[in-house]
Amino acid sequence: MTEKLFGTDGIRGVANKYPISCEIALKIGRAAGLIVKKNGNKSIVIGKDTRESGDMLESALVSGIVSTGINAKIAGIIPTPGVAYLATNYNDTGAGIVISASHNPYQDNGIKIFNGQGQKLDESDQDFIENFIHNDEEFSGTDALGKISIIENANIQYADFLKSTFNFNLIKKRIKIIIDCSNGAAFNTVPKVFEDKYFETKIIFNKPDGRNINRNCGSQFTQVLSEKVVKAGFDIGLGLDGDADRLITIDEKGNVVTGDKILAICSKFLKEQGTLENNTVVSTIMSNVGLIKFLKESGIKHKITDVGDINVIKEMKKYHAIIGGEDSGHLIFSKYHTTGDGILSGLRLIEVMAVKDQPLSELAKVMKTYPQVLMNVKVDKSKPDFMKIKEISEKIKQIETKLGENGRVLIRYSGTQPLLRVMIEGPDKGNTEDYCKEICEEIKTYI
């Protein structure tokens, strides 16, 4: 059986070690080139975030691509959703490849691939790439090599697309906004979107050095952003992650507004505007109980899927929904884009603030957030079925009994890291943390 390399968000690991090595990247480039050639296209767009390992992986991917006779168009440092957009913007392009490990530390990197429609690869293409990585002896090259070109204005094209989704006439007074770029891929795009005419903008963590991406900043670490919002009186703070496909926001009082609340705010607004197609919102099993209750009380149909924006998008297509996402900040507005986009999500939220002429703190009252505790336990790659381990399953059932209908326990393996994620929701923060620790200790003992 071929080793499974693709997780919920591409292939990811420690840079310069298997599977994120230049040798594997070369094979991925070749496999992607063969897929594109089979589909009758001629080129692949490549973008990356600011990690120091990006250049190495880019070079290997490009070599693999052109060895199949497919052209490589290099976009440079650009957000992941920017690559998805560019993949759809050229008639001869059959794929977009992003070199990024998203919110992970700089030591990690990853490779995620979009097809020519700006959507993540389906399982059959993933299987082809994995099989090719392990069995590529039959590849004998091609006489007609591909060419390498640079997309000089990639960030401008992407920024213009983002601005085209927003009606700037809605803004009656300049909005004070502070944006944390996480020293990542958005540092060059953000200033092109949030122009002075409509926004009084301050940008922080926008000086990447190859190693400071996501370091105590961005969507994972919002403390600095929150402090600056309050101190300088900003209307909203936007916290992006390293590749800018997720967003966490800060209201004018310094409170964190996560993906679930953004989904609640925007779905309520769309329903009020009569534009919530099929009256449906999609979220994952990690969504807060508060979102579930809000949607039910609002008469909005709610579809729940497994973790990962690729799963959210599949469910959105199935039920013809135009909004969906994860509490982590991966939000999809399919009327505008094919994938999660942190900057675009920020624009959608600002649109609601402008039309309703309400501060974000007021809009965020739309749903009550139940205390949620998430802890990670490091595990080996074998990932055993923890529910078959008697001591662990009994501990879980014991906690579930204590919580009753006022909470829940959710335990799952990470799709991108060797971690077992333990999430508990309950009415009391202290008890919820204690319950989470109890289960984690049991897992550490037996796994």
By annotation, the residues acting in catalysis are 102
Q: In what order do the strands lie in the sheet with 247-250?
A: 199-204, 175-180, 236-240, 247-250, 256-257
Q: Tell me the two tokens of residue 49.
A: 């975030």
In sequence order, which residues have a C-beta less than 8 Å from that of residue 90 and are 6 or more positions away? 43, 45, 73
Q: Which two tokens stand for residue 203?
A: 């940008």
One-letter amino acid for residue 84 of the chain: A
The length of the chain, given as a count of residues: 447
d(CA 62, CA 98): 12
Burial of 33 from C-beta contacts in 10 A (0-12 / 13-18 / 19+) = buried
Q: Which of these, 301, 298, 337, lies nearest to 321 by C-alpha position? A: 301
Instruction: Supply 244's token pair.
Output: 């800018």
CA 34, CA 26: separation in Å to the nearest integer? 12
Query: Which residues have a Cβ under 8 Å from the Cβ of 106 and sit 6 or more positions away?
Result: 51, 52, 53, 210, 211, 212, 213, 214, 215
Which two tokens mark 105? 């530390």
- Output the CA angle 350-354-357, nearest 5 degrees: 130
- Beta sheet of 419-425, edge-to-edge order: 372-378, 419-425, 408-413
3-state secondary structure 312-346: HHHHHHHCCCCEEECCCCCEEECCCCCCCCHHHHH
CB 134 within 8 A of CB 62: no
User: Contact at 8 Å (CB) between 180 and 224?
Assistant: yes
Q: Helix count (H) and strand count (E) of the chain?
A: 14, 18
| Helix (H) or strand (E) run with residue 163 in it | helix 154-164
Sign of the CA dihedral with 15 first, then 111, 157, and 236 last: negative
Parallel, antiparallel, or unpaired for β 71-77 and 148-150? parallel
**Pairing label, strands 108-115, 175-180:** unpaired
